[in-house]
Structure 1
Amino acid sequence: MDHKDRILIVDDDPDIRQLLVDYLARNGFDAVPAASGRELWQVLNKHAVDLVVLDLMLPDADGLTLCRDLRAKSNLPVLMLTARGEETDRILGIEMGADDYLVKPFSPRELLARIKGILRRTRALPPNLKPDTQRCLVFAGWKLDTATRALTGPDGVVTPLSGAEYRLLRILLDHPNRVLNRDQLVELIHGREAEPYDRAIDVQVSRLRQRLQDDGREARLIKTVRGEGYVLAAAVEGLPSCT
């Protein structure tokens, strides 16, 4: 029997939950509903889940806090839903570790496309990197294990990465010393066009700089090129193993 990806739909609106569960089921997914933060944890304790669709506003919990708690415990992909569509909400969602966001109202078809895109990007390795020959990427004293997604610092401490942070780092490592603009990064990370004044990439770069201890006033590793974008200013070496 073919494996069906299990999608957890967390929304307090019963009509939206049922609509999305039915639509995803018709399109080959095993969709599980939850109406609150409490039910979210109950489902996760009982079932393996491949992706969480998480509403920002829930009766018993703040979606941003739930996203942060999810990110602290796992690398489970999170698609955030927001009713207001304000830039602040989207930025906060990315800061808490969401992989993408979708503004209500939305069509189930668009949600399906976003889910497929997140799952594809979460599981895919860039085509120019062969995991059997370059499992470990070494740069500026850091090591990234592309199989386990463990980022190890010069001091030997392992730093956790969200799914979006990992993909951003992989993209930069695959294009060292090359300036990538914001539109290119949005497309490569999220598989969609950047929206006007979308600051999600800036937030993700800031978070990744913090992970790399490169968040001072003058970043040395991920540099900002004014008017153009960002560049990873380091040599990258691929090794068969990080050990």
Structure 2
Amino acid sequence: MSKILIIEDDAEIAMLEKDYLEINGFETEIIADGKQAVAAILAHAYDLILLDVMLPGQNGYDICREVRGKTDVPILMVTARTESMDKIRGLGLGADDYIAKPFDPAELVARVKAHLARYERLAGSARKADLDDEIIVADLIIKRKSWKVYKAGQEIRFPNREFELLLFLAEHPNIVFSKDVLFEKIWGYDYSGDSATVTVHINRIREKLENDPANPEIIETVWGAGYRLNR
């Protein structure tokens, strides 16, 4: 169930919003003071915020400015101030929408549902992108886009060739590749060197990633055949 924070000092309006949202299956919480609202937003997980502009303690614009960099949930500003500059100001501070008083409660609910659905789509896409970007092997996280590697939460620095070699093996787990094939894939035929370079880089990678480099479990040597990343 989505949880909505209603920040509104007019008790009648706050209860109207609460009643219509709860009828439509949302959980709600009401806060009437601006400063209390900031603390609540930063301390709790809300799915959407209905934010009045004129509040005691701290106005809605300042609240939006203060919390927007710390939460990406939708913020819908609710206010009687309908001038274009007021709307532009709210949207410029990071609000997602602007609802003018007096409002149709059904329209309010419809906008809340639309913004929640949009946020969930965007969040889902972001989660998928993060998952697609990451390869997890034991306690390792390999990030394709940023070329970063983490072991047990700690970042480990890799030169380009070492990272390319590790990434190639991680993208083709449980497959044995000969040193010649790995050399061709990572360095190419035109590179001045030979397949012994692969052994040197594998050993360096093991020193950084294996709990016991002398007895590797992640990148295994298959004698007479090559190397295999176990995943």
2:107 to 96, 107, 110: 110
CA distance in 1, matches of 2:26, 2:74: 15
Query: How high is the sequence identity, in percent, across the aligned residues?
Result: 42
> How far apart are 1:134 and its partner, in Å?
9.7
Distance in 2, Cα, partners of 1:85 & 1:11: 17
> What's the Cα RMSD here?
2.9
Q: Is the 8 A contact 1:82 1:89 kept in 2?
A: no
For 1:74 and 1:123, the matched residues in 2 are separated by: 14
1 or 2 for the larger relative contact order (CA 8 Å, sep ≥6)?
Answer: 1
Q: CA deviation at 1:24?
A: 0.9
Write out per-residue CA displacement over residues 52-83 of structure 1, whole angstroms, 9 at most, x where no aligned residue.
00001111112111001110211121001120
1:27 to 24, 32, 39: 24
Trace 1:158-197 onto structure 2 (pairs within 5 A): none
8 Å CA contact 1:64, 1:93 repeated in 2: yes
TM-score by length of 1: 0.50
Is 2:59 aligned against 1:62? yes
The CA deviation string for residues 148-180 of structure 1, in whole angstroms up to 9 with x for no partner, is: xxxxxxxxxxxxxxxxxxxxxxxxxxxxxxxxx
Corresponding letter in the other structure for 1:26? I
| CA distance in 1 between partners of 2:62 and 2:48 (Å) | 17
C-alpha separation in 2, matches of 1:6 and 1:128? 21
Q: How many residues align?
A: 135
Q: How does 1:1-243 map to 2 (within 5 A)?
A: 4-44=1-41, 47-125=44-122, 131=128, 135=132
TM-score, length basis structure 2:
0.52
Distance 1:129 1:70 in 2: 21
How many Å apart are 1:122 and its aligned residue?
0.9
Higher Cα Rg: structure 1 or 2?
2
* Cα distance in structure 2, aligned partners of 1:58 and 1:89: 15
Where structure 1 has 5 or more consecutive residues not aligned to the other structure, the ranges are: 137-142, 145-243
3-state SS of the aligned residue for 1:68?
A: helix
Letter in 1 for 2:22: A
Would the alpha carbon gap of residues 69 and 26 (structure 1) be closer, same or farther in structure 2, given more than 3 Å must change?
same
Contact 2:47–2:74 (Cα < 8 Å) also in 1: yes
